[in-house]
Structure 1
Amino acid sequence: MKNLKTIAWGAAIATVMTAVMPLTPVDLFAANPAFAQSVSRIVVRGNERVAADTIESYVAVKPGQRASAFAIDESLKNLYQTGLFKDVSIKRSGSSLVVEVVENAVINRIAFEGNSRLKDDMLEGIVTSKGRGILSESRVQTDVQRVLEAYRRVGRFGAVVEPKIIDLGRNRADLVFEINEGGKTAVSRISIIGNQKFSDGRLRKVMTTKETGWLSFLSSKDVYDSDRLAADEERLRKFYLNEGYADFRVVSAVADLDRERNVFFVTITVDEGERYRVGDVEVDSAIPDVDAESLRRLVRLDSGDVYSAVEVEKSLEDITIEIAKSGYAFARVSPRGDRDYENKTINLVFQVDEGARAYVERINIRGNDRTRDYVIRREFDMAEGDAFNRVLLDRAKRRLNALGFFKNVEITTQPGSTPDRVVLNVVVEEKGTGSVAVGGGYSTTDGFLADISLTETNFMGRGQYLKVAGTTGTSKRSYEFSFTEPYFLGRRMSAGFDVYQRRLKDNDTSREYDSRAFGGKIRFGLPIMTDLSFNPYYAVEQKEISNYELYGKANASTAITQAVDEGKTLKSALGYTLVYNTIDNMGDPSDGIFVKFGQEFAGLGGDVKFIQSTLDARYYRELYPAWGLVGVFKVAAGHIQGIAGDDVRLLDSFFKGGETIRGFDSGGYGPRDKASGDALGGKTYFNVTAEAQFPIPGLDELGFKGSVFADAGTLFGSDATKGSFSNSKTIRSSVGAGVIWNSPFGLIRADYAYALSKAKEDKTQAFRFGAASQF
């Protein structure tokens, strides 16, 4: 029985094996009979422009070889990757391998429709599809994304791009990108989280990204730009570091797009940390011949000062340059800050070491299509062949950024031909340096005004400054031409000249006559130290008074009548100014000192001989940084004295009014003719101002600030010999409030002041409105 079962199982297994014999592994994995045979030839069909030999070169199967599935698949991939074909198929026909292709069309032309923000020539440089090139659908889709990215960079995140292919027959087509640019995608709100020491408004003032407003059409700073936001993170970090918050960090910066409203909401989260002051300050020198104690005086921070990264950086530069002057070109100065967390202090140590000997082998400059190479090279304190110094390299980068010629400056280093050689690569991205400003307005002094100015700060790529300006109005007309060469004779000194003409007409308020001045100046600028400069000049000017309204009448001013009779007077003078400047921002100052002392010596020919001395000193300090409250203290003084027996003529005297002590008319205080009431000018003046400036909530993003102030001063002394005039030395004073607008057209301010003290003959003016300047 057992043997019978064994026989039965054997028979069953044999039957099954016989049934599945056609499906053995050998047969399952054998090639398709249609492809198993060797290929005798390759036949190409459907090609019109591409040669058959070219197509065959991409086929992985050659005559005499088998056409495996793997080889066929590779062939298809190769042919599609060429971008020449819209469709490809490969099949066997007998012993032949037939390759059928459908060629992509040739682009006849590329066009853009609906675009105005970005011009055709710019978009043509962005897309990879080109006229007379092959039309590839994958490339077209890539080009759509490239165009969309270009619109995002200019703040048009709602832009839509639709590619249209227009068949022209004979396998030719036009490629048209239909563009709907959409509206500007602005930053609707900037929220800052985690700040306690400084208000949101104060921190937004540090950033270049701005919230959109009713004047945003004049600027693109409210357009979202990821690179700009990243740069703003660094600006915030530097701001906090300069205020002593050494542990500050930006936790996150997120921009959320609201597609329905087409706006961004920016949220920045910060961790301020603690505020540190400077503890001990030391200079430690490992070079025997370098006296550390003598270098200590170059450190700009003392024990007890609020820690400032900028002052540390400036101290580092000063020490490095001083050591280099002593012959140690390779010396390395490394600052170290040791935190004392308990006392909230940072102990500073400037370590001076020999440093590795390295030389600048080559300076490569790229990206400057307009700016000349030498304009960039001269900002380096290192030339090819000089000792390499990292501190001086950082200084050069700051100088290049400060020029205002470039959007971005990157300086990298790479090894040179030998271990002690370094190659510097300078890559710049240029920006527009020319501007045309057209404006108009009203001034309580000169009535309605209209002005136009053309300014170029990088004239012909040579780094030269050129300005042409003109102003016309109810009672004022002026023209001006200025030119400055910042590197005269190849040295770090400026030279330039100015030519101007000014006409003032009778305005029935501050003057009852016309005056005209025409002149020019040749000037130089010589830096003495980082913050101190000496600026000599030669000036020639012709002045005259005419059309005196009261001339010939009984109450006419005899002094003015005499000036009319004298006609034109010519001044030929040498002068100079000494300027000390540590202001943080000349356009919107909040910290620093500005002092300008000048003297002018007239008498090198001409009709007048005098010595004139003037002083203008200003001090800015943030009184309460959290609110952006800035205190301003100003002192100004001047004296003019005739020499060689000459009197000071009326046209050369000082005329002061509401521009120095608000609450007074232009020329409203000082010596005055008693008969006519005309201002005669004075020989000596001084005035002081104490002012507090603060952002106006809700309007600070638009550049509006408020101010409260107190002014005081006087003007006296006159060489007038005819008629009766007042010459009071009374101290004039006033208090008031104002609004300052840092507008796209320039600085504009309106002040209301009340005169607390004045002389009997003075003329007051409570409200004053017009253009202003910081310096």
Structure 2
Amino acid sequence: MSLRLRARLCLSTRHAGAEPSSRPRIAPLVVAGFLGLALPLTAPAEAQTFRFTTFDVQGNARISDSAILTYAGITPGAVVSGAQVNDALQRLQNTGLFEQVDIVPRGGTLVIEVREYPTINRITIEGNRRLEDDALLSNIQSVPRRTYSPSVAEQDANAIAEAYRQQGRLTATVTPRIIRRSDNRVDLVFEVAEGGVVETERLSFVGNRAFSDRRLRRVLESTQAGLLRQIIRRDTFVAERIALDRQLLTDFYQDRGYVDFRILSVTPELSRDRGAYFVTFNIQEGQSFNIGRITTVSEIPGLDAAAYQAVIRLRPGETYSPRVIDNTITRLESLATQQGQRFVRVEPRITRNDAARTLDVEFVISRGERVFVERIDIEGNQTTLDRVIRQNFTQVEGDPFDPRAIRQAAERIRATGFFSDVQVQGRPGTASDQVIVDVDVEEQPTGSLGFSASFSTDSGAGLAVTFSESNFLGRGQSLRFGFNTTDGSQSFNFGFTEPAFLARDLSLSLSAFYNQTTAQNRDFDTLDIGLRAGLGFPVSEFGRLNVYYGIEQNEISGLDPLESSQILRDEEGSRLSSYAGIQYAYDTRNTGLDPTQGVRLQFGTEFGGLGGDAEYVEATFLGIAERQVLREEVTLRASFEAGALEMLSGNSRQSDRFFLSSRQMRGFDANGLGPRDISVDNRDALGGNYFAVARFEAAFPLGLPDEYGITGGLFYDIGTVWGLDNVNGGPAGGDPVDDDLYWRQTIGFSVFWDTAIGPLRLNFSHPLQFESYDRTRNFDLTVEARF
């Protein structure tokens, strides 16, 4: 009597050419049944035992007999039960190497019959249009010329479907199929049904009173699709983005004093047709608190708290914000370091006054634990050098460990934009007073190559090619160059920046440019070529100083000897300029999360005459202020620009003087206002040695759905250009040019449209005050597309 055990692992019925699907089945362990028929019913049942002295392995081609016997685990000559033979069968089938396994005991010989899984001949993907084959094949584990595994094929199908899910196509399905070939080979085919994009149809909020849904949507990373999604823009739903949205929303409220703010729930609901999501944020705002009394106490003997109180910039009545508290703590701890105090910690103690809705803040200066940084371990950076990451830490090995400084370093690393994920945390070191700082980063692409088409009423249609790399060769350096051509002009620019020159917070910048123009309200040609190098470094919390040196070659040509102004004819030809300058910038606009106000002030002075043909002093100023009002629905902006040029020898040239573009002074053509020689027909723009312009603007929603990206604005501009060293105009030195100061004024309405092809701005202007020879403009359009 022989016993035959069989395990047949059938391929899924979804595989073309496969046998019908069934669970692994064991051919009957029928010994007991047969014996039950052969023996009297009254005889007791006895367990079947075997003793195998030889083994016969059949059907294997790639896997050796010894390997199969090892997997089976039956020792020659040993007495084994039927259950142990069944276990051997299970072990063989669980290896995942065999499509079918049969075990047949024949006396003292155990016959093991196997059918190996086929070898993959090739792998193809069918039905994919949105994602390329290479992008999908990189996600799978199956490999040609390796053994086919149904379980691995299923995992690969899920990985491909996940790639589509990340693109917002949640309904995509992937089916693995096989096509059998000769010599036990198969072609593995993944059939893809991509489905449609699952969009965020609506982002809504429940419980918000202080801010509208429209304002809160601008805080989130997610955006919602609109009725014109096919031509405006569309947003795919990504579940992982919800966690970031929760944090952004929490930070937004807390930065505005809502210390009790909570997100009760976030509910994404899928529509019945599985084509869109409706996401609802259920929030509890609470009340906004201001800062009350501000005090400082010291728990360190001999340390004067008054000196620390003096450097605090907080003032009672300001809106409470964890950000400003943290900045104040950093300032106090920095002062302690400057005084030689080590292991000083500053902790805020908050006393709440619900009636007045204020928070009294007491900064407690105490001695912290004596813990040092043992080392900083960096992992995950394949391209970026370790030093680029380390330079964001103010602490190095051997310094006192400061958790706040470590958190701030993590924020600075994230702000570089080199990494998609940054995790920084401390763990115990080799001694009780040592901490190891682990930095785990995940890199992301930092370079871009762009082609763009543009149109503006200043320069007409144009094409541009740009390249930028913000982490050149993993050194944290910035490299960029671009070529731009429009009607009547061509330009090329190159720039390189080393943000940590000499391993310090010192930036080195190098740039070069080439500009050629033959139009823009001028009947002559210009050619400008130049090189420039500069150094920049911080001088305060919000201030930065830049010094630079440059050299330029400027040329004016193409003047009409009969009709061109005598002023320009005197300037015809080329001239070399060598100059040095210094610039100070103070900017508070980018502090905090989505700030409601801020200013930027910029002062610059340039000196020409370090060699070359021009000697001059030039001063410029730029001031910008911005504030959001009316529950942050309306943004008010005011800006002022001015400049003055003083020649130390000779007269100023056209390339030296100031001109105003239509961006600086709306309602006028580029170079459309200022001194102009009206005694000749061409009336060339001459520019001026002085300029001043002020712009006032209010931007506000127009009541259209946010997803359209359309907002409006009102503006008022006032400005002028004046002053010449030489006013001798006319073809033969005729009537002098009037270069006196005449103010120009413009009012207008703007429409801003953030379209799928780029930002578009329409200005409808009405000049209120202008001179008869000025060139005005009532409409201005600018749109740029990147692809």
TM-score, with length taken from structure 1: 0.88
The one-letter code sitting in structure 2 at the alignment partner of 1:616 is L
Tell me the equivalent position of 1:135: 148
Q: Which residue of 2 aligns with 1:712?
A: 718
Q: In the alignment, which residue of structure 2 is the partner of 1:377?
A: 390
Distance 1:370 1:243, change over 3 A: same
Q: Within 5 Å, which residues of 2 pair with 1:101-500? A: 101-115=114-128, 117-212=130-225, 222-258=235-271, 260=273, 262-500=275-513
Equivalent-residue separation in structure 2 for 1:589 and 1:477 (angstroms): 38
Q: 1:390 Cα shift?
A: 1.1
> How far apart, CA to CA, are the structure 2 residues paired with 1:242 and 1:338?
18
Identical aligned pairs, as a percentage?
35
Tell me, which stretches of 5 or more residues in structure 2 are unaligned?
1-35, 730-735
Kindly state the Cα deviation for residue 622 of structure 1 after the two structures are TM-superposed. 0.7
Deviation string, structure 1 residues 494-552 (Cα, Å, up to 9, x no partner): 11111112122234xx3232222221211111111231100000111222222235x41
Among 616, 628, 631, the residue aligned to 2:636: 631
Deviations 1:386-422 (A, max 9, x none): 3322111111111111111111111122222222222
1:516-531 matches, within 5 Å, as 516-531=527-542
| Structure 2 CA distance for aligned equivalents of residues 621 and 307 of structure 1 | 18
Contact map agreement 1:108 1:131 (CA 8 A) in 2? yes
Partner of 1:660: 664
1:562 is matched with 570
Letter of the structure 2 residue corresponding to residue 740 of structure 1: F
Q: C-alpha deviations, 1:552-594, integer Å up to 9, x for none? A: 13xx422122222xx1122111101101111238999853111
Deviation at 1:131, TM superposition (A): 3.5
Structure-2 residue corresponding to 1:642: 647
Q: Please tell me whether the aligned partners of residues 285 and 353 of structure 1 are also in contact (alpha carbons under 8 angstroms).
A: yes
Shift of 1:670: 2.7
Q: Does the Cα contact within 8 Å between 1:197 and 1:626 map onto a contact in 2? A: no
Task: Give the letter aligned to residue 150 of structure 2.
Answer: E
User: What is the match of residue 597 of structure 1?
Assistant: 603
Paired AA for residue 638 in structure 1: G
Please tell me whether residue 606 in structure 1 is matched to residue 616 in structure 2.
no
Contact persistence 1:439–1:745 (CA under 8 A): no
- Classify the secondary structure of the residue corresponding to 1:659: coil
Tell me how far 1:96 sits from its aligned partner: 5.4
Alignment partner of 1:754 is 2:762: no
| Displacement after TM superposition at 1:379 (Å) | 1.4
Identify unmatched segments of 5+ residues in structure 1. 1-22
How far off its partner does 1:334 sit? 2.8
Q: Distance in 1 between matches of 2:195 and 2:630?
A: 43
- Among candidates 686, 695, 699, match of residue 701 of structure 2: 695
C-alpha contact 1:205 1:701 (8 A) present in aligned 2? no
Equivalent pair of 2:719/2:745 in contact (CA under 8 Å): yes
Task: Find the partner of 2:549 among 538, 545, 548.
Answer: 538
Q: Aligned residue for 1:5? A: none
Answer yes or no: is the 8 Å Cα contact 2:201–2:278 preserved in 1: yes
1:607 to partner: Cα distance: 1.5
Letter in 1 for 2:562: G
> Which moves more between the two structures, 84-93 or 482-491?
84-93
**Equivalent residue, structure 1, for 2:21:** none
Q: Could you say if the C-alpha distance between residues 367 and 82 of structure 1 is closer, same or farther in structure 2, counting changes exceeding 3 Å?
A: same
| Aligned AA (2:704) | G
1:563/1:744 CA distance change after superposition, 3 Å: farther
CA–CA separation in structure 2 for the residues paired with 1:312 and 1:69:
75
Cα pair distance change 1:417/1:756, threshold 3 Å: same
Per the TM alignment, residue 219 of structure 1 is displaced from its structure 2 partner at its CA by 11
Q: Distance in 2 between matches of 1:268 and 1:285?
A: 43
Indicate if the aligned counterparts of 1:571 and 1:606 stay in contact, CA closer than 8 A: yes
Give the deviation of 1:489 after TM superposition. Answer: 1.6
Distance across 1 between alignment mates of 2:308 and 2:582: 32
CA distance in 1, matches of 2:74, 2:738: 111
Worse-matched range after superposition: 285-294 or 710-719: 285-294
Q: Secondary structure at the match of 2:604?
A: strand
- Superposition deviation, residue 743 in structure 1: 5.6
User: Aligned-pair distance for 1:237?
Assistant: 1.0
Q: CA deviation at 1:37?
A: 5.9
Q: Deviations 1:158-204 (Å, cap 9, x if unpaired)?
A: 22211122323443333222223334333232222222222222222
Q: What is the rounded CA distance, in whole Å, between the counterparts of 1:585 and 1:262 in structure 2?
A: 39
- Judged with a 3 Å threshold, the aligned counterparts in structure 2 of structure 1 residues 651 and 31 are, in CA distance, closer, same or farther, namely farther
C-alpha deviation, 1:55, in angstroms: 3.2
RMSD across aligned positions (CA): 3.2
Counterpart contact for 1:335–1:350, Cα < 8 Å: yes
Say whether 1:728 aligns with 2:740: yes
- Supply the distance in 2 between the matched residues of 1:423 and 1:124 (Cα, whole angstroms): 39
1:552 paired to 2:562: yes
**Residue 663 of structure 2 aligns to which amino acid in structure 1?**
E
Q: Match of 1:683, as an amino acid? A: N
CA contact 2:676–2:737 (8 Å) conserved in 1: yes
How has the CA–CA distance of structure 1 residues 505 and 71 changed in structure 2, closer, same or farther, with 3 Å as cutoff?
Answer: same
Decide whether the 8 Å contact of 2:219 with 2:594 is kept in 1: no
Distance 1:266 1:219 in 2: 21
The structure with the greater share of residues assigned to helix is 1
Query: Please, which moves more after superposition, 93-102 or 655-664?
Result: 93-102
Partner SS for 2:458: coil
**1:479 maps to amino acid:** F
**One-letter identity of the residue aligned with 2:629:** L
